A and B are shown apart, each in its own frame.
Chain A
């Protein structure tokens, strides 16, 4: 037993010696190893410098500005504005033809705070839902081509025309008073109401005009409200929509300049935006006027 143990120890010592002799620390690749180590060190230093001088200051500025916004009460509107543009980005494919998406997304990135509180209006007054829902989507009518806007506008014209045909009384007030519109889908109704008025006074003016027009159904006050909005934001994001709605208010009031306003849309002054609807309305007005 003792001999076995001694034999084992000698074997073990031999094994250790053989390993000691086998590995003496020489390697032809030692210079390459140094170069690789230096390269990795340089890369890591560069990354650390980038973090120290770029990423950390940006993070610090973000944290500080967020804290400042939180203290001054500006954080909530800012968060809402971001969420609103996020929802607008996601809602766009549901309401708009795919061709028009790039143009409207470009517009959305330009001025997201001016989105009107359309879904609230949609829930209250089903009739103008289409106008309200389209408004936040078509943000840059001048950019949208006629062909891209056509698929979106085609359905409303087919809805407006029967209402016009059915109205045989006084020509102004009945033309667009009750265009039959499908009830808003659950997705449309579920869209969160954007607190645009808290972000932008122009959006508040738009919302007020929209409310007077489609909820209160008071064309005279709505006309004044649209004028106020257009005076405040003549080139605003929703100025074309406001002009179209103003034309509708003029029609309801039986004012002759309604035709001039609608002709601007029908002639393509705003590209394809509301073109077909304006044409349909003009036709209806003409038919109504030709009746004895």
Chain B
């Protein structure tokens, strides 16, 4: 993970996310921890942040805690926001900086549930298809738990969020080449893990 959280967003000027429409007054209000401003930003971006958090963490409760942390940290973190990227991208980068403990907690919970073999059962109209998908998704999440956080973030942003390498580089503050390398190694490890798990089945 980047050692200087979000510092890249100050210096980096990517082509992506240019023309951010976040008004300066909103930034100022966020810096003052204005409840109205936080509510407004939450209403605009919470789905995107929560989606990323859920996909990264793989646990609804832990993802909700992460979303909460993001918006609590926002008034402090916004001081580093220079409008180089979209506010949504900035929020995702805050989520990455706060994800470590939540990912760990979710991984522990997932490992425990896996041992006890009692994953929650969501209701659906196509139980068989859902069961297959759920099983596949569960296996992937367990495999993701085995990856370092940098690789996990890169592969989630790339393969699940379907972001480009340039976007990911902006979010994580690493060069695009590094991002691609992380994705490559992550996918290779995931293949190995899923293959071995598949063989075990």
How far does the Cβ of A52 sit from chain B's closest Cβ, in whole Å? Answer: 13
Q: Which of A39-55 contact B (CB under 8 A)?
A: 40-42, 44-45
Bound Cα distance A19, B138 (Å): 8
How far does the Cβ of A25 sit from chain B's closest Cβ, in whole Å? Answer: 3
Bound Cα distance A11, B132 (Å): 12
CB-contact partner of A29 in B33, B47, B64, under 8 A: B64
Residue contact A40 to B68, C-beta cutoff 8 Å: yes
Interface on chain B toward A: helix, strand, loop, or mixed SS?
helix
Residue contact B72 to A41, C-beta cutoff 8 Å: yes
How far does the Cβ of B99 sit from chain A's closest Cβ, in whole Å? Answer: 14
| Binding-face segment, B14-22, B34-42, B110-118 | B34-42
What residues of A have a CB within 8 angstroms of the CB of B51 in the complex? 23-25
Bound Cα distance A251, B130 (Å): 106
Residue contact A22 to B134, C-beta cutoff 8 Å: yes
- For chain A, the count of residues having a C-beta within 8 Å of the partner chain is 30
Residue contact B134 to A18, C-beta cutoff 8 Å: yes
How far does the Cβ of B135 sit from chain A's closest Cβ, in whole Å? Answer: 9
In this assembly, does A38 line the interface, its C-beta being within 8 Å of a C-beta of chain B? yes
Residue contact A27 to B160, C-beta cutoff 8 Å: no
With A15-B136, A18-B140 known as contacts, the answer to whether A41 contacts B35 (CB < 8 A) is: yes
In this assembly, does B105 line the interface, its C-beta being within 8 Å of a C-beta of chain A? no
In this assembly, does B191 line the interface, its C-beta being within 8 Å of a C-beta of chain A? yes
Residue contact B64 to A33, C-beta cutoff 8 Å: yes
| Binding-face segment, B52-60, B79-87, B170-178 | B52-60
Residue contact A8 to B46, C-beta cutoff 8 Å: no
Best-surrounded residue of B54, B161, B194, B198 (most CB of chain A within 10 A): B54
In this assembly, does A30 line the interface, its C-beta being within 8 Å of a C-beta of chain B? yes
Chain A residue nearest to B144 in the complex (CB): A19
- Kindly list the 9 A-B residue pairs having the minimum CB-CB distance in the complex, ordered from nearest: A25-B51, A23-B54, A15-B140, A18-B137, A37-B71, A18-B133, A25-B50, A25-B47, A16-B159
Add 9 more A-B contacts to A21-B133, A34-B71, A37-B42 (CB < 8 A): A8-B195, A14-B136, A20-B55, A22-B137, A24-B51, A25-B51, A27-B50, A37-B67, A41-B33
Instruction: Name A's B-contacting residues (CB within 8 A).
Output: 8-9, 11-16, 18-27, 29-30, 33-34, 36-38, 40-42, 44-45
